[in-house]
Chain A
């Protein structure tokens, strides 16, 4: 069974049909990209998969379980983790603390245990901290652990956000324009990173504009334009699809 099954989802905002009857699958262990010109509905689609927006119609299943319309924290509990296009790190917290929050769902102590400082709470905290540091090491940013997260350099903030998303050991990782603002070298490093993430058994769905990244690491590509699915195939095939070329470069010969 594919890890993600999106079937006939649509979303309208006022007068705009942001997403129109889109269906696709993401197989386990795959790296899939969603591409398309601005306004194509990519972010809306992402928001529907991660629970921030409920589709008007259609279903979204994760490992067979319906997740459409569920709030973000429930979707996260099912093993979905995401990053944000405009980096949403937690202010006034260190990078390590940000990543530790990513692992929130892997611990259980609540108010009472927290206030009383019970042994269980302390043990869980140690485990969370250790795992968070491991993830940061995996991404090569362990040195940033105690830095104020929102005052880091842009590229570093992106890395911290990625670490945060990975900290929960998700099944599905949603990356919203992970290469935005990165230069060529950084983008190549990011590509390496994403393949290493996949090697750990995590399925990756990403929205991206950077074609080099997409062609470099993605198995399949979903192309949207004005909310509709234009193509959904292997990366090479999509690159040569005349329809795709047209929506990106326009009708007139170039």
Chain B
């Protein structure tokens, strides 16, 4: 069982390596950047797949947590505290290493939060928000849950869009590279393309492994039980509310991680990352990939994100995802793989069976737009 998962992840990494070599040797190294971005979006989306597919909870606000992560890190690593250098707390933090000096774009020196500390803060904030919101929200079901998460996502978006010190419509730019090792950092420069590609896919592989482990574990079983028959799960001793909440928090945390790294990769972030359309697109991807399938979601996400970022959908990006959403929900609500004859029968019989249908099945969360909108573009 365990080796099965490791083999899968290993194979995935091998494919990633192959793709990278192919890209470089065919002279299309620039594709690596979009693949790297796709990898980060995918990290957020597989977390959503866990929430939707395994715990059976819709979230139309997933992009909000992605953005909370990204914005927190962006703000902390660009907010210059040197004017307040004389304050005691600033001095202490600087000595301890929480605050660091770095060169700014235009030559000056700024005193900002160390990226690693910023990272921790970003994830912590996302987790805290997820707890705060999750406690009341996870008690809801069906369209109430959908609307509540939509509401949370919309508020995050409105705050991002309307707050001046968050950059308002322009977002935050000038976000520095994220240092990982002595010579390696997450940044968008062309010379670091290959390295960043591997950082992103390595992170994604790690995330997949963690989630695959989780799904097979006692907790994963409990989640699937909740999705299958919530009252029976409760009767077996599973604290349903607590588990749903913690899954929600975990998915928010992973989204935040993805948000942080993508922000440093892009050098900035804008309100469009928090838009409802983004959340809708995430949900569409999870729906297409098959809600119970992490690998299905991963593949779909990489593909669709990449196409979207490459501009293949052109101005119709939102329309394409809307169409995908409707089409998948109408014809293949359990994921596109069920269009294969063998699986189609299984899926149909599962849906029309006498036993009550699982709560939360068929609920497609809408992934928010993954279109390659540059930070600062007005969110739609």
Do A and B bind? Answer: yes
Q: Residues of A with Cβ closer than 8 Å to B?
A: 50-52, 71-73, 76-77, 81-82, 84, 86-93, 97-98, 100-102, 104-105, 107, 109-111, 113-117, 121-122, 124-125, 128, 150-151, 157, 164, 168
| Alpha-carbon distance A113/B218, docked complex (angstroms) | 9
- B237/A89 in contact, CB under 8 A: no
CB distance from A4 to the nearest CB of B (A): 16
- Bound-state Cα–Cα, A124 to B214, Å: 14
- Does any Cβ of A come within 8 Å of B128's Cβ? no
A128 to B216, CA, bound (A): 13
A113-B217, A114-B214, A164-B236 known; A91 vs B228 contact (CB < 8 Å): yes
Q: Which of A50, A93, A114 has the most CB of B within 10 A?
A: A114
- Contact (Cβ within 8 A) A77 B356: no
30 A-B contacts (beta carbon < 8 Å)? A72-B234, A76-B234, A76-B235, A77-B237, A84-B231, A84-B232, A88-B229, A88-B232, A89-B229, A89-B355, A90-B224, A90-B233, A91-B228, A91-B350, A97-B221, A98-B225, A101-B222, A101-B225, A104-B237, A109-B219, A111-B219, A111-B246, A114-B213, A114-B214, A115-B210, A116-B210, A121-B217, A128-B218, A150-B355, A168-B236
Is B292 interfacial (CB-CB < 8 Å)? yes
| Contact between chains at A114 and B217 (CB < 8 Å) | yes
Query: Which residues of B273-320 have CB atoms within 8 Å of chain A's CB atoms?
Result: 292
CB distance from B13 to the nearest CB of A (A): 17
Give the interface centre of B214, B221, B222, B224 by most chain A CB atoms within 10 Å: B221
Given A111-B246, A124-B218, the answer on whether A87 and B355 have CB atoms closer than 8 Å is: yes
Given the complex of chains A and B, what is the CA–CA distance between A51 and B237 in angstroms?
11
Tell me if B174 is interfacial: C-beta within 8 Å of chain A. no
Asked if A82 and B217 sit within 8 Å, CB to CB, the answer is: no
Residue of B217, B220, B355 contacting most chain A CB atoms (<10 Å): B217
Residue of B nearest to A77 (CB): B237
A92 touches B358 (CB 8 A): yes
Q: How far is the CB of B290 from chain A (nearest CB, A)?
A: 11
Main secondary structure of the interface of B (DSSP, over half): helix
Instruction: Provide the B351-380 mask, 1 if CB < 8 A to any CB of A, else 0.
Output: 001011110010000000000000000000
Q: CB < 8 Å: which of B213, B228, B239, B356 contacts A93?
A: B228
Contact pattern, B 1-41, Cβ under 8 Å of A = 1, otherwise 0: 01000000000000000000000000000000000000000
| In contact, A89 and B214 (Cβ under 8 angstroms) | no
Determine which of B2, B232, B237 lies in contact with A117 in the assembled complex, contact meaning CB atoms within 8 Å.
Answer: B2
> Residue B236 contacts which of A91, A101, A116 (CB distance < 8 angstroms)?
A101
Which of these, B218, B220, B240, B292, contacts A92 with CB under 8 Å?
B292
Query: Is B236 a contact of A102 with CB atoms below 8 Å?
Result: yes
Interface string of B235-248 (1 = CB under 8 A from A): 11111100000100
Q: Is the CB of B225 within 8 A of A122?
A: no
The distance from the CB of B17 to the nearest CB of chain A, in whole angstroms, is 24
Q: Across the interface, which residues of B come within 8 angstroms of A150, CB to CB?
A: 350, 353, 355
Q: Are B355 and A114 in contact (CB under 8 A)?
A: no
Interface residue? B211 (CB, 8 A): yes
In the complex, which residues of chain A have a beta carbon less than 8 angstroms from the beta carbon of B228?
Answer: 89-93
A111-B231 in contact (CB<8A): no
B349 beta carbon closer than 8 Å to chain A:
yes
A107 touches B218 (CB 8 A): yes
> How far is A168 from B356 in the complex, measured between Cα atoms in Å?
24
How distant is B6 from chain A, measured CB to nearest CB, in Å? Answer: 9
Q: How far is the CA of A160 from the CA of B357 in the complex (A)?
A: 18
Nearest residue, chain A, Cβ from B54: A92
Of the listed residues A72, A77, A90, A105, the one surrounded by the most CB atoms of chain B closer than 10 A to its CB is A90
Is B46 part of the binding interface, using a Cβ–Cβ cutoff of 8 Å?
A: no
Cα–Cα, bound, A53→B212 (Å): 36
Closest to B230 in A: A88
Task: Kindly name the residue among B220, B229, B239, B240 whose own CB sees the greatest number of chain A CB atoms within 10 A.
Answer: B229
Q: Which residues of chain B are within 8 angstroms of A77 by Cβ–Cβ distance? A: 237
A105 touching B237, Cβ below 8 Å: yes
B2 with A93: CB separation less than 8 A: no
User: Across the interface, which residues of A come within 8 angstroms of B217, CB to CB?
Assistant: 109, 113-115, 117, 121, 125
Instruction: Tell me, yes or no, whether B250 is within 8 Å of chain A by CB.
Output: yes
